[in-house]
Amino acid sequence: MVIKTGLSQFQSSISQGFLSVSLPNTATTQIGKVFGVVLNENTPSKEQFERVGGWSGIGAILYLDYEASKTQGGGVDLNRCNVALPLDPNLKNYPLVGETVLLTDGPSFQSQFSSAAGRKYYMGTINVWNNPQQNAPFSTTLGKTFVESADIRPLLPFEGDYIIQGRKGAGIRFGSTVPLYSNVSEWSRNGRPSGDPITIIVNGYVTTDTGSLTPNIEEINKEMSSIYMTSTQTIPLIPGATIVNPINSALEPNQYINSQVILNSDRVTINSKKDEVLIFAKTDAEISANNVINLNASNYIHLNIESKNPNSKILLGTKANNTVPDEPVLLGGQTHDLLLEMCNTLRRLAGYLANANAVSSDGAIPVIAVQDGADQLLNDVTNLINKLGTIQSDKVFTV
């Protein structure tokens, strides 16, 4: 291991408070009880933050040997505690105050110079209560902010599952179909054989019986937020809105047996910070809402169909017999021009009628009624022509 130059100050600061140990050929283990965890510059205190090396010591614990800790009274001076760092640099699973950890000896950045420059590391919380929330043997205070909840339970496992579970009701199950336990495993009820993979991510399991220690099990319609990635399972999701389009043949999520991804929560937000949001479907795309579907854009909204397909159509609404509409829309520009041409024809006709005369033996006699009607027609047509300029939308266009 090579130490980078220019880190002498860092090396000096991080060495403070750490118990130097000799490195034997075989690492030894020890059980320690946690009295403090350095999470920021004020937790547990500014003094301890600086003692472990500042930000370079995040995750360090202040501990005493477990047997020795039993003789301690109410308060423990953290300055008398030893310091250990997490053994794993990537997986951040810090213990709570009062929990016990497994400690081991390991090298430090100075070990290449001296065999006596080792350090203590901890390998995670000892599972005293076999509960994901906390495992302090006897402790009334678990830290500055952590509050124990009555409804946190471990997940019910099935053979072969790989489960990662947080302290506050969030977890990931890498599981499979288990028809033998379909009475509790709602993703195993479609008759498929055992072993088809499924991945379930949940934030907020629901514990209905807080007086029981019965483990939690995923229930998609009760969880706060969840993502289901299936292979062949059907998931009994109750959609927030029903599919109201009778022409669409899409299967609802609880009927689909091929692989699908389900995102479920009280609200789902998809946001692109820089570029597009793209949604592609091999067959149909269905959007349903119980209230209103809003489409908003700063520039324009473009609905398009495949122009090379002569049967492609944009359809608005559904007929009473649940069939597609067959009444075509009018092209606004061409309709305007056609109506303008008709109005101009009527205006010319009104001009002719304004000079209408009846032929008699006394010569041409003006037909007053016709001329008066022509004047009224000319006035009406002129008004219609003026209104034609306002009937075209400046927001909606079609091909």
Structure tokens at 91: 């997986």
* Cβ atoms 32, 65 nearer than 8 A: yes
Q: What is the pLDDT of residue 355?
A: 80
Q: What is the pLDDT of residue 17?
A: 55
Q: What is the pLDDT of residue 8?
A: 41
Rounded CA-CA distance 74/62 in Å is 16
Q: What is the pLDDT of residue 390?
A: 84
Which stretches in the chain have pLDDT values below 70?
Answer: 1-27, 73-74, 111, 113-117, 244
Rounded CA-CA distance 237/262 in Å is 9
Q: What is the pLDDT of residue 27?
A: 62
pTM above 0.85, yes or no: no
Rounded CA-CA distance 373/394 in Å is 36
Residue type, 130: N
**Lookup result for tokens 């579907």:** 293
